[in-house]
Chains A and B, each alone.
Chain A
Amino acid sequence: MDEVATKIIDILKKHMKEPRDDINLSTALTDLKIESLDLAMIVFDIEDTFGIEIPYNANEDVGDFKTVGSVVDKVKGLMAAGPAAAKA
């Protein structure tokens, strides 16, 4: 796993009530038992860590975030696009 993936998994573990060591890119987020408030904290932490803004609305299904790998891909995409693109 690369640095982005490692950092994201560390952030997930930090906010999980019962952190697991077997999280990999194919782990489904629904398996991590993340509650809505934890999700907000996780998004906040990821944004701070990578200097990006993740467009996401807690009222909508988040198709981009099915697995840990999809989160990593999304973050990499936002990082490549730069902060301006994320705001658009």
Chain B
Amino acid sequence: MKNGNGTRRVVVTGLGVVTPIGLNVADFWSSLQAGKSGVSELGGFPLDDLKILIAAQIKDFDPKVQLKNYKRDKIIVHADRYSWFAAAAAEQAVVQSGVEFPLENPYRTACIIGSGAGGLTTFENAYRDLFIHNKRATNPLTLLRIIGSSASAHVGIEYGIKGPTFATCSACSTATHAIGIARDYIQNDLADVAIAGASESVINYGTMKAWQALHVLSPQGCFPFAKKRNGTVLGEGAGILVLEELEHAKRRGATILAELVGYGMASDSQDMVKPTVEGPRYAMQMALDDARIEASEIDYLNAHGTATKDNDINETKAIKEVFKNAASKLAISSTKSMTGHPLGAGGGIEAVACIKAMQESWVPPTVGLDEADPECDLDYVPNVGRAMKVNYTMSNSFAFGGLNAVVIFGPPPA
């Protein structure tokens, strides 16, 4: 069945997440419902002279347990942590989808799993070995752990995927670009099924120093849209979807969770850190036009909402320009108030939050929002989630460099 544009329709049949507030969708959702924050004291490596001492780290992930079902890909447990997260989230999504991989024609499947930075912790450890411990060589697996396409390759090997398999890389928009590209491949008849999303795990000494030097991290917590906000908090994790062509899903009697109805992207082409209103506005409008719906039809918007001074004001302005009169009626929240900022993985985790919101008729809150910034004057669902009918949801991802990507999910086609 084709949509009004005469194109193939793309639906979501599987969800998977690994987050600081839950290692699977059920636990993640319970944490969102409880307004639980994943931000905690930084640990797991020598902190030395670090000044920022909090992060939203995943502290209970055991790859031997989480990846015990990986059969074809024999070295996954030796891979970088970012690949572990991707692999675990992908497995959840695949199991939920019920798709039996490999497909009869494995060239009709895609695996697009991005990462903002790949295996940075492996990099750091290897360089510590070489430069500090004067080791004569790196571990032989170092290179494979580092490369930013290793997560997509590992998952692709496990599920026998022989079609388009690679990583996207657009900083904090990485996952949303991956999901959008996968949608396009299915829509354009290059694939019938795709595993798409992103994974990130970069919380280490060097990365913390680099972020610290940019002066955008909060020493206290991640409080999007709040007057008290003073920066973002680094997080980590993965968010992965199984996307499928509608008829393909119907033929095998799959449970369809949502339709991916719109995708938009635009680059500010302006500045590495100072966002424009125009870029995010264009990306949101493009996604709405693609979905052929009006802005007023969006019930819930999962904001990029990083809790930096610039992003939250800028995003609020862009939302107002796109939604006009409907902006004040729109339920908006930033789940980063609970997950921290999972960087490249953000859009994947937030896509899952959007789809769950539709299924559960409940939108997650923005926690820590005791007093809003006067310049952030929309409805950010402060502190307590809200039971409401959610027909269409929009998920915003905006990145350093001004790289904007937006997806819209709608109800399963009747």
Complex Cα distance, B71 from A17, in Å, reads 13
Say whether B137 faces chain A, with CB atoms less than 8 Å apart.
Answer: yes
Complex Cα distance, B140 from A55, in Å, reads 14
Q: Which residue of A lies closest to B74 (CB)?
A: A17
What number of A-B contacts does a CB cutoff of 8 Å give? 16
Complex Cα distance, B77 from A17, in Å, reads 14
Q: Name A47's contact: one of B75, B137, B141 (CB within 8 Å).
A: B137
Among A23-31, A36-44, A68-76, the one that faces the other chain is A36-44
Q: Give residues 38-62 of A contacting B (CB, 8 Å).
A: 40-41, 43-44, 47, 53
Residues of B within 8 A of A37 (CB): 75, 140-141, 144
Residues of A within 8 A of B75 (CB): 37
Say whether B139 faces chain A, with CB atoms less than 8 Å apart.
Answer: yes
Report the minimal beta-carbon distance from A72 to chain B, rounded to whole angstroms: 21
Verify A47–B136 contact, CB threshold 8 A. yes
Verify B136–A41 contact, CB threshold 8 A. no
Report the minimal beta-carbon distance from B68 to chain A, rounded to whole angstroms: 16
Interface mask (B111-139 → A, CB under 8 Å = 1, otherwise 0): 00000000000000000000000001101
Verify A40–B140 contact, CB threshold 8 A. yes
Residues of B within 8 A of A17 (CB): 74
Residues of B within 8 A of A43 (CB): 140
Residues of A within 8 A of B141 (CB): 37, 40-41
Report the minimal beta-carbon distance from A36 to chain B, rounded to whole angstroms: 10
Interface mask (B133-160 → A, CB under 8 Å = 1, otherwise 0): 0001101110010000000000000000
Verify B140–A53 contact, CB threshold 8 A. no
Complex Cα distance, B108 from A63, in Å, reads 42
Tally of contact residues, A, Cβ under 8 A: 8
Interface mask (B64-99 → A, CB under 8 Å = 1, otherwise 0): 000000000011000000000000000000000000
Identify whether the interface residues of B are mostly helix, strand, loop, or mixed: loop
Complex Cα distance, B139 from A41, in Å, reads 8
Residues of A within 8 A of B140 (CB): 37, 40-41, 43-44
Residues of A within 8 A of B139 (CB): 44
Q: Which residue of B lies closest to A42 (CB)?
A: B140
Q: Which residue of A lies closest to B144 (CB)?
A: A37
Interface mask (A3-29 → B, CB under 8 Å = 1, otherwise 0): 000000000000001000000000000
Residues of A within 8 A of B144 (CB): 37
Report the minimal beta-carbon distance from B25 to chain A, rounded to whole angstroms: 33
Report the minimal beta-carbon distance from B183 to chain A, rounded to whole angstroms: 34
Report the minimal beta-carbon distance from A59 to chain B, rounded to whole angstroms: 15
Complex Cα distance, B136 from A41, in Å, reads 14
Q: Which residue of B lies closest to A39 (CB)?
A: B140
Q: Which residue of B lies closest to A35 (CB)?
A: B74
Complex Cα distance, B75 from A41, in Å, reads 12
Q: Which residue of B lies closest to A44 (CB)?
A: B140
Report the minimal beta-carbon distance from A33 to chain B, rounded to whole angstroms: 12
Complex Cα distance, B141 from A43, in Å, reads 12
Complex Cα distance, B74 from A37, in Å, reads 11
Complex Cα distance, B140 from A17, in Å, reads 18
Complex Cα distance, B140 from A14, in Å, reads 15
Complex Cα distance, B144 from A40, in Å, reads 12
Q: Which residue of B lies closest to A45 (CB)?
A: B140
Interface mask (B222-238 → A, CB under 8 Å = 1, otherwise 0): 00000000000000000
9 more contacts with CB within 8 A, not counting A37-B140, A37-B141, A41-B141, are A17-B74, A37-B144, A40-B140, A43-B140, A44-B137, A44-B140, A47-B136, A47-B137, A53-B136
10 pairs of A and B residues whose beta carbons are closest in the complex: A40-B140, A44-B140, A41-B140, A37-B75, A44-B137, A44-B139, A53-B136, A47-B137, A37-B141, A37-B140
A-B contact pairs, 8 of them (CB 8 A): A17-B74, A37-B75, A37-B141, A40-B140, A41-B141, A44-B137, A44-B139, A47-B136
